[in-house]
Amino acid sequence: MRRIQLITLYAIAIIILIMTQTAEAHKLNLFLITEDGNLQVEGYFASGAPAMNCKVIVKDDRTGKVLVTGTTDKEGVALLPLPEGWSGTLLVELKASLGHMATAKLAVQPDNPKSDDKEINRELSTSSNIEGATHKSSEPQNHNQSVSQKPVLHHHVTGFSIRDILAGIGVIAIIYTGISFLKKRNFFNQ
């Protein structure tokens, strides 16, 4: 009878696990867009929640001098004016509270610092580096962007699906059934 109960418990836990899909990583995605001499910074989490009220610091990558700072709005967007005629490599830092700290580099060529081109980088994965960006115009690429993301502390904004939570509880049931099994055989007292 006891064995049947144990097998049933395992079966339930395994069914829950099979039903479950792995939760998506809670990544901070960073988009940089340059337009009319302005830098638009967009930050949002993989869940779709915007990284709102996050501090944005734009520095000269070479000297470390802060060029402009700002804060993202409720949509996770900050529009920052770049210094007129400025060229070089920008270092953009997005500080999402305790959640994530993302950094991005953007090289601005001296020949066309106020390009109308929009430059959009793809979604970033943790600690990844992406060189270059997708240009919407046929003109030669005048920006070179490399972005890296370094989450310091995980800090969730949105909830999780019931399925993910049930999976975790199922695994907990399995683990403690195993511990109970081992304890009954004095495994930990050997």
Partner 1 sequence: MHISDGILNSTVSLSSLAVSSGIFLWSLKGIRNQDLSKTALMTAALFVGSLIHIPVGPSSVHLLLTGLAGILLGRGAYAALAIAVALQAMLFQFGGVTAIGANTIMMGIPALIAAWLFHGILKRFGKKVAVPAGAVGGAVSVLLASLFLALFLWITGEQFREVAVLAVTAQIPVMVIEAIITGFMAGFIVKVKPELLWTSNLTPDDNKS
Instruction: Give the interface with partner 1 as residue ranges (CB under 8 A).
Output: 22-23, 25-26, 52-53, 97-99, 101, 126-127, 150-157, 159-160, 164-165, 167-169, 171-173, 175-176, 179-180, 183-184, 188-189
Give 24 or 139: the residue with its C-beta nearer to partner 1.
Answer: 24
Give 55 or 135: the residue with its C-beta nearer to partner 1.
Answer: 55
What does R_g of the chain's alpha carbons equal in angstroms?
Answer: 24
- As measured in angstroms, the least distance from the Cβ of 101 to partner 1 is 7
Burial 28-52 (b: 16+ CB within 10 A, else e): bbbbbbbeebebbbbbbbeeeebbb
- As measured in angstroms, the least distance from the Cβ of 175 to partner 1 is 6
- As measured in angstroms, the least distance from the Cβ of 20 to partner 1 is 8
Q: How many CB atoms are closer than 10 A to CB 151?
A: 17
CA 104 – CA 30 distance, rounded (Å) = 8
Helix (H, G, I), strand (E, B) or coil at 1: coil
Give 18 or 165: the residue with its C-beta nearer to partner 1.
Answer: 165
